Structure 1
């Protein structure tokens, strides 16, 4: 007997505009026609008071004025920190459903904001009585759904912690921990909130926060930007080199709005720009001190979300062949570029 509608809950994504958030949904296939329900998007919020720490608690006005809200989100590792609650239903209830104002209020405190204050803001949202339940989704290493669970609002915090541990046990990873060069064909918001998943590449680039010990990658090349990102190249600052192709696709308004809200400015710093993939790889090899090209530990992946198939250099092959969970499906061959100097399609 309900009349459901969809409210985007993306904080500052989509350029922090109502129209931009609908664009992001549509690029992911979430449309009114497909879902059979209207999408109602607004940046307006209702002020629900403050936490004990003095952080304002906001909730999307359209959602607040409804009879009840069902939260839907993936539960997975966050790209900025490690804790018992990371990216999931509590994050979408707070930073997501609070729109740009809530994202700013929490991100003002940097990592402490999203790690320590975000769950407290979410609990305030739960206490408002507007949340009916949560639907938590856990995906495996192939981005396939491994678990869907409907969770009563009073059980979300406890159950999300358990589902996060399950999600982390299914996460993909690179088959080796040490690389000279990692070539990422595409970065983008549809692959990770940070363009490249920091858990995969072992880089955070957050002021005052120690970098992960593994994996250790000397140079990362970001080659292209996904169409689904609509010009938001957040995460380009996690790379050391990029290409003219990616550079020309950057929408600075969208990227800057996202990174300034997060306060992790380094992640939007544009690295050295080369003409194409061939030039970027040549530069990275040139700067791999004391190594001949045949000794370079090189890996090419399509993005940090889809790691089912990848290319490795000859120097990595002996190590890869020893691994029982990796299958060699091709023969050694020279790198193949198109006439513009970019890799042929994966």
Structure 2
């Protein structure tokens, strides 16, 4: 008879894994500075910038390819036009809903004054700029409101918790990101069931009451590389953003295998997705207002990203994690994010086991109607970077028959150290 939990799962066979490349549309921007400058040289965009203007550049917390260079280029163009730019974090309640925390998130992406060339003005203070026709108060960052104009820089992508004409993008950045914790909580109060309705409702009030010069939208390909940048003046955002969202939807990556029993994710974090793990990849949505056909029996998470700074949102969407996830977690700051969004699912604690081996083994042992000695298992570094992944040996035949899969190596053991943790995770992905 087994003496304890770890005896029960201590003899589980971990499959040998094979590195494969998933083939998606790889078109990307090769010169991001040139692309941004080209967008800003359009006459309608260029005309919004006048000499002497103090311009607030709203920058969010989402991981964006070339993020710091996009911001730096925008700052450079504004200074060449004799304007005076400064950056405001536009990230709702992220960073523990503190000015210092939000500045630190930008700094983790190297968006700092010495690099981008302008001040970072981080504050949680907001001002009311108006009301929706349904009576909601609409707030934005006070420093941005007091500027002569506002520029938005953000990523367009499908949202993780609702579906609508506007999901993650310029409208949401205005309604929730610029609203800081207070404004974001007002918009979230009606729940994600109503988010598709409320985001444009709030966004249109801001467009009417504030001087939104333009939004610079970024669309990434399935490899997390910049596919498109598009500048839209404030008056064009309502009509054009839905078209950009549809383009972004076609560029999303996915795991190109079916019947996956176990998914091992090296790390989750807010830099990868608002939900830590992107449910568009994992199928684990925090609300019933967004869904897809992805079904995976068990998911384990081995770590938090450094960039997420202990914010563990998304851990509640998986089945097992390692104990070091909780050791790193900044619980109260994570709870602020959940309270602001009104959804607690993402911060619920899963089963926590003491090392990588047992987290993976528990998932394998508890899958139903499978041959656990030939488990169908996938390992990914995170849900943003899924161009190259690892599949178990039992999935090799599927890989060989799929023209969108390139086999990059031979089966190899997952090596664990004496503590039961994977050895050289970085080397596993880089070799």
Which of the five TM-score ranges fits, normalised by the shorter chain? Answer: over 0.9
Return the offset for 1:290. 4.2
CA contact (8 A) 2:162 2:290 kept: no
1:181·1:220 contact (CA, 8 Å) conserved in 2?
A: yes
Does the CA-based 8 Å contact 1:202-1:216 persist in structure 2? yes
Structure 2 CA distance for aligned equivalents of residues 128 and 112 of structure 1: 26
Please give the alpha-carbon distance, in whole angstroms, between the structure 2 residues aligned to 1:80 and 1:44: 27
Task: Determine whether 1:260 maps to 2:339.
Answer: yes
Aligned residue among 117, 122, 131 for 1:36: 117
Asked if the contact 1:94–1:102 (Cα under 8 Å) also holds between the matched residues in 2, the reply is yes
1:131-146 map, 5 Å: 131-146=212-227
What is aligned with 1:229? 308
Match 2:134 to one of 47, 53, 56: 53
Distance 1:129 1:257, change over 3 A: closer
What is the DSSP-based 3-state SS (H/G/I as helix, E as strand, rest coil) of the residue aligned with 1:83?
coil
What is the CA–CA distance in structure 2 between the aligned matches of 1:143 and 1:101, rounded to whole Å? 31
**CA distance, structure 1, for counterparts of residue 291 and residue 375 of structure 2:** 22
Shift of 1:276: 1.0
Please name the residue that 1:70 is paired with.
151
CA contact (8 A) 1:205 1:266 kept: yes
Q: Which deviates more, 225-234 or 168-177?
A: 168-177
Match of 2:386 among 299, 307, 322: 307
Q: Which structure has the higher relative contact order (CA within 8 Å, separation 6+)?
A: 2
Name the counterpart of 2:87: 6
Q: Aligned runs of 1:1-346 on 2, under 5 Å?
A: 1-206=82-287, 209=288, 212-344=291-423, 345=425, 346=428
Q: CA deviation at 1:211?
A: 6.8
Determine the C-alpha separation between the residues in 2 that align with 1:286 and 1:14.
Answer: 37
SS of the aligned residue for 2:134 comes to coil
Deviations 1:52-76 (A, max 9, x none): 2221100110000011001111111
Give 1:212 shift: 3.0
Q: 1:178 to 1:292 in 2, by over 3 A?
A: closer
Alignment partner of 2:415: what SS? coil
2: distance between equivalents of 1:320 and 1:82? 32
CA 276–216 in structure 1, closer or farther in 2 if over 3 Å, else same: same
| 3-state secondary structure, aligned to 1:304 | coil
Contact preservation (8 Å) 2:130, 2:209: no
TM value normalised by structure 2 = 0.78
Please report the RMSD computed on the Cα atoms of aligned residues, expressed in angstroms. 1.3
Deviations 1:231-254 (A, max 9, x none): 101000011000012121100111
Structure 1: distance between partners of 2:259 and 2:202? 39
Q: Distance in 2 between the 1:85 and 1:153 partners?
A: 15
Please identify the structure whose Cα radius of gyration is greater. 2
Rounded Cα–Cα distance in structure 1 between residues aligned with 2:390 and 2:262:
12
Q: Name the CA shift for 1:210/1:33 in 2 (closer, same or farther; >3 Å).
A: closer
TM-score by length of 1: 0.96
8 Å CA contact 1:294, 1:314 repeated in 2: no
| Equivalent residues of 2:166, 2:199 under 8 A apart | no
Task: Tell me if the contact between 2:300 and 2:318 (Cα under 8 Å) persists in the aligned partners.
Answer: yes
